[in-house]
Structure 1
């Protein structure tokens, strides 16, 4: 871990790692959300229905749920440098496929595959945690997440204008194609310019790749329960694409998917039991234990924070356009202010967490989150636009500061499992997104915001059971020696 001074304007040592990491994360979000600002031209070009468009929004975040878990495990095993570079390179393919799509089915397949790029976030969480000490970790993770998340705002600000500059029916295709080219470029830049740890530091890897390690029998069953929503939400997605919803899949195809998800969960449970089999032979020494409830609480909080952000970023341009009768470009610009807050809010949440305590910060921000979305539920055409924008930005502050505060805690639970913990917590953000977007497809916008506010209240209650991280994490090097990692 680097001991050099935290200097935001430096581009050497740990600061170089931080800046390059948020840049590649920025690219992943630019690509992931390159569709929403171009809704009007895409729908008109392909003659899509509103229901088909909403299906694309759900597909866009669906695959990210299992992808974050898988990518988190791969990151712990192979290191963030290789995994991030590979993810960017591979994700350029479905990005180009979406730009070239000629019908809804092709777009749906490309968008589903492109959801994999949303897993990039968890890679950088592990990378940053290797380079920064606990007193700077929340701030560094907040900068990484906040400035990277700004990629969605950049998409809203720039892509409609790019599409207009290219002009013609294919202007939107060229705009999206450019984001795919950036994936390839930054894949190479990242691979050639970063390392997984500072010189002389140990990169702790999990004992097994097959499942997350826990340290008690009760936590093992708790983990299996917390895995269920990730499979159930994918089953819900399949149902929405069945003849009972949008008839993209046949009943036979849906039944195959249900059976496959059931088999996959059972295999996941078996793999998790196998990894944790030693728990039934002898207890884990106290020094090596961690409480899984810490992970569970963070999962719930990220469901409400990042889950709502993904859903709101996806629907906000259309909401502004329809509520205030604005053009695509203007609505995209105003909606982008929600994500624009990431530049300061997420780093701010991490910084406050570093200074004043992890749990106290989360309690305050989660309460603000509930109140913020309640205020958004009141917006209608009678509001002045400036007041609606102000309410959106205020709500966004609590959402994204809360995200920063959540990931100020994640790396402080168990170092060698940071990628897997970040993957599961990140996946819950996507479970939240699919859940909220499903609600959005069924209710009016006011009710949609009220539902998010209600889940934030549940997150506040869950947070009361979380313990403030303190002391040290005990890890064992490959040569058998023990290293104590400070978390406070």
Structure 2
């Protein structure tokens, strides 16, 4: 009989869980160090507000395609080598960024460093290998919730380190120190984990370059579901264009659009070549799964993580603009929001394990829809304490929703877990881009209403189309042996 979850243990699978969430934590410290360091960078290099905003946009742009690519690679190569590589390589790139002298150099290296944010995908596969399905929701929630706290870790520690070194180069030393710690931990991680428990098989896809699907209709849906990823990158490009922030020329803008179209066409071709032989000769029943499950989880994470990332970005300014709070007070109140992740995301995973994946998602998305609908009707005459409480409630539902989404991701098709997690994770970034862009175009109440309405649409999809994982899934070993993986 399977043991009860013991998070205070540091043996076996719990040792892997703790090492892996901290690996994720370190990637977020390095990746999201830009936010808390931006005032220091801006002052030291005399950057304009517009230049600072561009750096923040560039910091997330590469993460969208990187999560797709890393998802493919982790399925093929394993999470051990992938997490270590991201930490080491990401640390070196971050060090290079910290010692750049011109704005153009900063912008280029920051754009390239966006791949560090894809580290999240790697741990999803690692945790799914070590924990049984009945515990995977809680374990994934701990991994995601505690690892996500790396953003708060960077915000708490790095400004203090930068200040202690002085105003001019303090930010350089702070980012360098954090990056060196990430590199060191990446090496430590490699020598202290294995991809699977002893005696278990690490299932791999036959080919990489695109996700395997089970039918022609699934192939069409897969292609369609890639379009929002390219639209998000196009939206980021538009924000940098002469029409908006005027940070790139018209020629560069259209060149990027052309490249995105070409890459999309190339991806369609690759998707067909990967799936052609399976679809023409009928996919073995043991290898079949319904891609609609992946598509619904994509949209679900767009709402949950998109809301989480966008709200934490605008919350302090919302308190200042609507309620005229002092900036320090607003920052402190907004600072409560990231702490919710420590219990809300694991809570969403735990509820999924205990009461079922679909039911938990239905309840949490109902909560997201209602809480953000109320926020969208906030009046400036409302009590400040009530509004803060409402944002916390909305945060609990959205973060718990993220935990619930990733409690189901590993239960769709084991050999494709990295790719599924990569696509779902990328949609989370798409959601952040969508909601933050909307926030720049509309007022705060309309921003909250948009999140609510998007959540309502996804709630309908979950109720009608999402299927609770069945009793088991099967994978076929290289020698033809069929292995049954229990799902509950």
Alignment partners' CA distance in 2, 1:485 and 1:294? 18
- Describe the shift of the 1:459–1:103 C-alpha distance in structure 2 as closer, same or farther (beyond 3 A): farther
Q: Is residue 370–residue 456 contact of structure 1 (8 Å, CA) maintained in 2?
A: yes
Aligned residues: 486
How far is 1:339 from its partner?
Answer: 1.2
User: Contact conserved, 1:149 with 1:342, CA < 8 A, in 2?
Assistant: yes
Matches within 5 A, 1:70-469: 70-320=69-319, 324-327=324-327, 331-377=330-376, 386-464=385-463, 465-469=465-469
Aligned to 2:482: 482
TM-score w.r.t. structure 2 length? Answer: 0.94
Partner of 1:59: 58
Say which is worse superposed, 298-307 or 107-116, in terms of deviation. Answer: 107-116
Give per-residue Cα distances to partners, 1:319-354, cap 9 Å, x unaligned.
4455544355x5544323211111100110000000
Measured in 2, the distance between the counterparts of 1:58 and 1:108 equals 10
1:230, 1:447 → 2: CA distance? 24
- SS where residue 483 of structure 1 aligns? strand
User: Which region of structure 1 is more displaced relative to structure 2, 229-238 or 351-360?
Assistant: 229-238
1:3-22 to 2 correspondences below 5 Å: 5-22=4-21
User: Any stretches of 5+ residues in structure 2 without a counterpart?
Assistant: none
SS of residue paired to 2:209: coil
Q: Give yes or no for contact 1:472–1:485 (8 Å, CA) kept in 2.
A: yes
The answer as to whether partners of 2:316 and 2:327 remain within 8 angstroms in 1 is no
1:203–1:291 CA distance, 2 compared to 1 (3 A)? same
- Shift of the 368–425 alpha-carbon distance from structure 1 to 2, 3 Å rule, reads same
Answer whether contact 1:146 1:347 (CA < 8 A) is retained.
yes
1:96 Cα deviation (Å)? 2.3
3-state SS of paired residue (2:484)? strand
CA distance in 2, matches of 1:174, 1:332: 25
The range that moved more, 278-287 or 288-297, is 278-287
Aligned structure 1 segments of 4 or more residues deviating by more than 6 angstroms: none
Q: Residues 462 and 46 of structure 1: is their aligned pair in 2 closer, same or farther, counting only changes over 3 Å? A: farther
Aligned to 2:22: 23
Evaluate the alpha carbon distance shift between residue 389 and residue 180 of structure 1 in structure 2; reply closer, same or farther with a 3 A threshold.
Answer: farther
- 1:29-49 deviations in whole A, cap 9, x for unaligned? 222222223444443444444
Query: In structure 2, how many angstroms separate the alpha carbons of the residues matched to 1:14 and 1:125?
Result: 14
- Structure 1 segments unaligned to the other structure (5+ residues): none
Shift of 1:4: 5.5
Aligned-pair distance for 1:101?
Answer: 4.0
- Deviations along 1:146-197, one digit per CA (max 9) or x if unpaired, are 1001111222333333333334233333333332122112111211110000
Moved more, 451-460 or 356-365: 451-460
TM normalised by structure 1 equals: 0.94
Asked if the contact 2:286–2:475 (Cα under 8 Å) also holds between the matched residues in 1, the reply is no
* Structure-2 change in CA distance of 1:227 and 1:352 (3 Å): same
Secondary structure in structure 1 of the residue aligned to 2:467: coil
Distance 1:47 1:450 in 2: 37
SS in 2 for 1:193: coil
